[in-house]
Amino acid sequence: MGKKTPNKAEDIVLDFTGLKDRLFKYFGCEDDYFVRPLTGWNWAVKTEDDFCFLSYWQEEGKRNSAVVVKKGGEPMIFKKEKYTMVIGIDCVKIGFIFENDKMGN
């Protein structure tokens, strides 16, 4: 018998988790966070008192805001050559992905 090949759904999940791991390593971010790619959006970071805020918006659109998370007193902003990842707190819906055989009662 040959080696069992994973089905397409398993490939999608493994591809996603592998790419997400690579993404955080690229930015040098030790932790894992929900990712919301907004590559076509405008953005700005402002500091007011001890707080740091992220604003992001589309052309002609309303501005959205998030509080930037701090670690060790420093805002979690990871800038690379072409992209910047900002870790912030915003209300989001999260897609939880589990293995079916791990489901308990």
Query: Structure pTM?
Result: 0.75
Confidence of residue 6 (pLDDT cuts 50, 70, 90): low
pLDDT of the residue at 3: 57
> Residue 57: which residues within 8 A CB-CB, separation 6 or more?
41, 42, 43, 63, 64
pLDDT digits (tens, 9 = 90+) for 86-105: 999 987 777 777 778 888 88
pLDDT digits (tens, 9 = 90+) for 27-86: 998 888 888 889 899 999 999 999 999 999 998 889 999 999 999 999 999 999 999 999
Helical ranges in the chain per DSSP H? 8-27
Give residues with Cβ within 8 angstroms of 31, minimum separation 6: 24
Instruction: Report domain extents, the chain.
Output: 8-99
Q: How far is CA 93 from the centre of its chain?
A: 13
